[in-house]
Amino acid sequence: MCLSIPSKVVAIDETTNSVTVDTMGVLRSASLDLMEAGSVKIGDFVLLHIGFVMNTIDEADALESLRVYNEILSIMDEDARRAAIIDDDNCENRG
Q: Which of 33, 3, 28, 36 lies closest to 16 in space, CA to CA?
A: 33
CA dihedral 37, 43, 47, 49 (to 10 degrees): 70
Q: Which amino acid makes up residue 95?
A: G
* Domain locations along the chain: 7-89
Determine whether domain 7-89 maps to CATH 3.40.1280.10: no
Residue-level pLDDT at 77? 84
| Measured distance CA(76)–CA(83) in Å, rounded | 10
Structure confidence by residue, pLDDT tens digits, 51-82: 999 999 999 999 999 999 889 888 888 888 77
pTM equals: 0.81
Which tens digits make up the pLDDT trace of 27-42? 999 999 999 999 999 9
Q: Report the length, in residues, of the chain.
A: 95
